[in-house]
Structure 1
Amino acid sequence: MTDKTEIGYPLVLTANEISELLQISKPTAYEIMNRSDFPLIKFGRTKRVMRQDFLLWLEHKKNKEKAQN
């Protein structure tokens, strides 16, 4: 993977891009995308997420983890 910031990613992210950002496997990225709290956009069988929605979701997850500890 090349060194990218989230700004270097497209406006709409795929599972592959999420796996790169989080440094996880692509199947794990799909598991995350299937969560009920994930801001998923579906086009038929295609799954995507808006970059900004993903970053907000991730920030929310981080804050929730901090509050639980």
Structure 2
Amino acid sequence: MTAATNSTAPVLCTVKDAVVLLRLGRSTVYELMSSGELPFIKLGRARRIKRADIDAFVAQLPPQSV
């Protein structure tokens, strides 16, 4: 990512944004949030996920061997 692209990226993502970024189903993202694997914040009724937490989640995933 370039600096220009990074500055336009949202700091807080909706669940829908996380689904697109992670290419996972909505239920799976909610399960990851519920289990604590994907930290989130709650603002009123809305849940938001820090973009840094999404990046950290992806970085900690183990590589798969075939």
Q: TM-score, normalised by structure 2?
A: 0.65
Structural mapping, 1:1-69, within 5 Å:
7=6, 9-60=9-60, 62=61, 65-66=62-63
Alpha-carbon shift at residue 46 of structure 1 (Å) = 1.3
Q: Is the contact between residue 13 and residue 50 of structure 1 (CA under 8 Å) also seen in structure 2?
A: yes
Gaps of 5+ in 1: 1-5
Q: TM-score, normalised by structure 1?
A: 0.63
Q: Is the contact between residue 16 and residue 29 of structure 1 (CA under 8 Å) also seen in structure 2?
A: no
Alpha-carbon shift at residue 21 of structure 1 (Å) = 0.9
Q: Please tell me the root mean square deviation across aligned C-alpha atoms, in Å.
A: 2.3
Q: Which runs of 4+ in 1 moved over 4 A?
A: none
% identity of equivalent residues: 27
Q: Is the contact between residue 14 and residue 48 of structure 1 (CA under 8 Å) also seen in structure 2?
A: yes
Gaps of 5+ in 2: none
